[in-house]
């Protein structure tokens, strides 16, 4: 029997690779002769770098950068084996994970550290930068990242502004350096799985800023700032990002980088699916197992397991979802899954399901496969 194991990470619990290993253990216990193809996946946010490294035999490069609030931290990017492509996962430098929820104040957060990673990768020889967008603590429209690359944001008096969301409304002019990165020598790809515009009712501020600590008044202020910043980007870089989908990804970081460098927006999931040859592996398989930390009705609307089952359906291969927890509003059959299995039972504390995730994943795979015999 040939089985493809293609999960997302279980957030705050196991990496996608860790989930693969646990499921593989259960498969081999049930079917020792099974052929298992492990394909750890991500969607552009946290974990994308790990999956890219596995897919390209890439090298991890550690850099001292600023986190979203200016504190020093060590972040990594992945340099491909041929050193021509770098994957910069913005969440590594400017992410929300690891920051106390009581300390989130997105209007004062910056993507500067992400820019530091990009600059280091370019100086390391990378001519193609893939930016994984997702999991950000920021709503600065990309000001921070561009500032790290040498761009200066000026107010009406010609005074340089610190590159945080609170200052987007004050930007009256942008000075662009004459460095090679701004001469079209570097190619950019933006890996994300949201289509939100830069500003407006479905833009970066109104949709995402609240979960990053913004109040209603601050959300309106940030949206106004993003509108102003888009106009200033158009004047400085001659690219209009107002109606381009996905520009609101990662608090508008996608829009800022796209305005400055152009490039291509690509689904983070589909990028990794191409790199890992997911379709070919599924086409040759008898079963696909996928998973995520928690499943609810939103899973069916484009989250990673739903994308995996769409690929499986193209080839007529059944896909089984094994999730940490499954909400009552989720309908597995309607979402296209042959079955959906939750690790957590109603009486099990969440902490226990997280602590024993490896064993529970292995048991779930074993139990399902035994039942199919």
pLDDT value at 140 more than 90: yes
Full DSSP string of 147-208: HHTT-EEE-TTSPBPPSSGGGGGG--EEE----GGGTT-SEEEEE-S----SSSTTSHHHHH
Segment 107-133 shows an average pLDDT of 97
Average pLDDT score over the chain? 95
Asked if residue 245 has pLDDT above 90, the reply is yes
Q: How confident is the model at residue 312 (pLDDT cuts 50, 70, 90)?
A: very high
Say what the pLDDT of residue 241 is.
98
Which DSSP letter does residue 291 get? -
- How many CA within 13 A on the CB side of residue 255? 35
Which pLDDT tens digit goes with each residue over 168-177?
999 999 999 9
pLDDT tens-digit series, residues 313-331: 999 999 999 999 999 999 9
**Does 102 score more than 90 pLDDT?**
no
Determine the Cα–Cα distance for residues 265 and 195; give it in Å rounded to an integer.
10
User: Which DSSP category does 346 fall into?
Assistant: T
Distance, CA of 31 to CA of 370 (rounded, Å): 8
Question: Which residues neighbour 339 within 8 Å (Cβ) at sequence distance 6 or greater?
Answer: 320, 321, 332, 368
The residue-averaged pLDDT of 93-102 equals: 90
User: What's the burial of 264, exposed, middle or buried (CB within 10 Å: 0-12/13-18/19+)?
Assistant: exposed
Query: What does the pLDDT read at residue 311?
Result: 97
Alpha carbon 124 to its chain centroid, in Å, reads 23
Q: Tell me what the mean pLDDT of segment 11-23 comes to.
A: 93
pLDDT value of position 268:
86
What band does 12 get if pLDDT is binned at 50, 70 and 90? confident
pLDDT at position 98, please?
85
Confidence of residue 119 (pLDDT cuts 50, 70, 90): very high
What tens digit of pLDDT does each residue of 19-65 get? 999 999 999 999 999 999 999 998 776 778 888 888 888 999 999 99
For the question of whether the overall pTM of this predicted structure is more than 0.85, the answer is: no
Each residue of 263-279: pLDDT tens digit?
A: 999 988 999 999 899 99
Q: pLDDT at position 34, please? A: 97
Is the pLDDT confidence value at 148 over 90? yes
Q: How confident is the model at residue 116 (pLDDT cuts 50, 70, 90)?
A: very high
pLDDT given at position 109? 98
Q: What whole-number distance in Å separates Cα of residue 16 and Cα of residue 38?
A: 10
């Amino acid at each position: 029997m040939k089985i493809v194991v293609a999960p997302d990470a279980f957030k705050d619990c196991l990496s996608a690779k860790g989930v693969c290993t646990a499921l593989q253990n259960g498969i081999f216990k049930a079917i020792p002769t099974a052929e298992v193809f492990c394909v750890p996946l991500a969607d552009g946010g946290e974990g994308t770098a790990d999956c890219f490294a596995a897919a390209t035999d890439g090298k991890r490069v550690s850099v001292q950068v600023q986190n979203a609030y200016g504190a020093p931290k060590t972040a990594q990017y992945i340099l491909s084996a041929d050193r021509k492509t770098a994957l910069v996962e913005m969440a590594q430098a400017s992410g929300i994970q690891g920051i106390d929820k009581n300390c989130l104040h997105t209007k004062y957060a910056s993507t500067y550290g992400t820019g530091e990673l990009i600059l280091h990768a370019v100086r390391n020889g990378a001519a193609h930068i893939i930016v994984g967008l997702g999991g950000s603590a920021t709503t600065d429209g990309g000001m921070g990242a561009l500032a790290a690359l040498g761009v200066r944001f000026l107010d009406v008096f010609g005074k340089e502004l610190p590159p945080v969301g609170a200052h987007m409304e004050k930007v009256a002019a942008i000075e662009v350096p004459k460095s090679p990165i701004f001469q079209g020598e570097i190619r950019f790809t933006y890996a994300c799985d949201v289509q939100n515009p830069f500003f407006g009712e479905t833009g970066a501020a109104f949709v995402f800023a609240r979960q990053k600590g913004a109040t209603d008044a601050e959300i309106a202020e940030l949206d106004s700032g993003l509108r102003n910043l888009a106009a200033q980007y158009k004047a400085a870089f001659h690219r209009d990002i107002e109606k381009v989908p996905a520009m609101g990804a990662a608090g508008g970081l996608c829009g800022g980088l796209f305005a400055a460098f152009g490039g291509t927006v690509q689904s983070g999931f589909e990028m990794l699916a191409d790199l890992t040859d997911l379709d070919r592996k599924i086409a040759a398989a008898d079963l696909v197992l996928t998973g995520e930390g928690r499943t609810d009705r939103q899973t069916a609307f484009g989250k990673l397991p739903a994308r995996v089952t769409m690929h499986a359906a193209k080839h007529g291969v059944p896909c089984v979802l094994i999730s940490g927890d499954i909400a009552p509003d989720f309908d597995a059959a309607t979402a296209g899954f042959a079955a959906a299995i939750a690790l957590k039972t109603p009486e099990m504390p969440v902490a226990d399901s997280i602590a024993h995730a490896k064993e529970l994943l292995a048991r779930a795979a074993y139990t399902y496969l035994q039942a199919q015999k």
